[in-house]
Amino acid sequence: MRNQLPMQRSALTMTASGSRQRGFTLIEMAVVMFVIALLLGSLLIPLTTQVEQRQISEVQKALEEIKESIIGFAAANGYIPCPDKTSAAGAGTMNDGQEDVTAATGACVVTEGNLPWVTLGVANMDPWGNRFRYRVSGPFAQRSPSPTFTLTSTSSAEVCAATGCGTRLTVATDGPPAIILSHGRNGYGAINSNSGVANTAPTSADELENTNGDATYVYRVATAMGAAVGEFDDIVAWISRNVLLNRMVTAGKLP
């Protein structure tokens, strides 16, 4: 019995010691997890920013490739492609990536719609899963039996720094033959590539300007939700009339 008592006390001591040791380990793990959470939190925003910037760069690169494809199409055919329509009205099939043309007149079914990505052989959507919006000036896209554009053809389309066009980024009386844009990360007003249906409409004036169907578009620095000038993340590109005409002359399509 005398021998058993010390052994029991020793066992109790070891158990208590082990309990204390396990308790400290859990506390230490909690501290480590807390530190990791802080580190991940501090990295999350910069990582999100990096991903978004990479997506914007991808769109800008895609828009440059699209512009070159449109100019190459014009050099081969004598006119730029018409949009792919987004509604059932008129000839052709909506949201199929093919340009839609009224055969009897040679005019575009619509002057604004999807970029005809199949016709051009380019990307069919932006990194956020939405179609590129595409606007053409009618005279530059029409074809036989209508006459194709010449060195004197002009466009009424315009790109401005804000709604109301207080500051124009293109010539007021001679705008670009074609305008292409991505509706950015928020995708407001864009045609979704999966559903073929328009996303939620934008609420800011400048983004609304890019979806209202007229020939005026806004291109400016992106601003976040809650900004005094309104949210804006559209990415806009356009084809210069002079660049198009010069390339057409070089290709022998214009005198």
What average pLDDT does the chain have? Answer: 89
Contact between residue 215 and residue 158 where contact means Cβ atoms under 8 Å apart: yes
pLDDT tens track for 21-40 = 445 677 777 887 887 777 76
The burial of 220, by beta-carbon neighbours within 10 Å (0-12 exposed, 13-18 middle, 19 or more buried), is given as middle
Is 2's pLDDT higher than 70?
no
pLDDT at 19: 45
Is 236's pLDDT higher than 90?
yes
Q: Where are the beta strands (DSSP E) in 8-52?
A: none
Q: Over pLDDT 90: what percentage of the chain?
A: 78
pLDDT at 43: 59
pLDDT at 110: 98
β-pairing verdict for 107-108 and 133-136:
unpaired
pLDDT tens track for 160-181 = 999 999 999 999 889 999 999 9
Mean pLDDT, residues 74-89: 96
pLDDT at 49: 76
pLDDT at 41: 67
Q: What are the b/e assignments for 164-194, b being 16+ CB within 10 Å?
A: ebeeebbeeebbbbbbbbbbbbbbbbbbbbe
**Which DSSP state fits 223?**
B
Q: Domain-by-domain residue ranges, the chain?
A: 4-250
DSSP string, 168-205: BSS-TTS--SEEEEE-TTT-TTPBBTTT-SB-PPP-SH
138 HSE (CA, 13 A, CB side): 12
pLDDT at 29: 77
Structure tokens at 242: 């002079």
pLDDT at 47: 65
67 HSE (CA, 13 A, CB side): 21
